[in-house]
Amino acid sequence: MRTNIHPVSRPVVFRDRAAGFQLLTRSTLDAQHTVVWEDGKTYPVVDVDISSASHPFYTGTSRVVDTAGRVERFERRYGRTAPVRP
């Protein structure tokens, strides 16, 4: 087996600033900034836009899209091109 071909895995904090959520896990990402974790140690931090704490699907704040209204509006604007099959 070849040596020194795999990236180094180390503890990294992923932070969702919108939700105030932080997660300490292992990753191969390099980070420019650091943060002091709950255990008092300093870890590199990666800021993410969306996490499970802020994603609409996981938080239950997702909206129901009115697809029937969109289809009717499309048909009014462009007309129906094919006959409807029963």
Q: Output the DSSP codes for 56-73.
A: HHHHT-PPPP-HHHHHHH
Top-confidence range, 19-28, 47-56, 62-71: 19-28
The helix or strand, by DSSP H or E, that contains position 36, with its residue range, turns out to be: strand 33-36
CA dihedral 23, 29, 35, 38 (to 10 degrees): 40
**Is 13 within 8 Å of 37 (Cβ atoms)?**
yes
Q: What value does the mean pLDDT take over residues 27-52?
A: 92
List the structure tokens of 61. Answer: 């704040």
Q: What value does the mean pLDDT take over residues 34-57?
A: 88
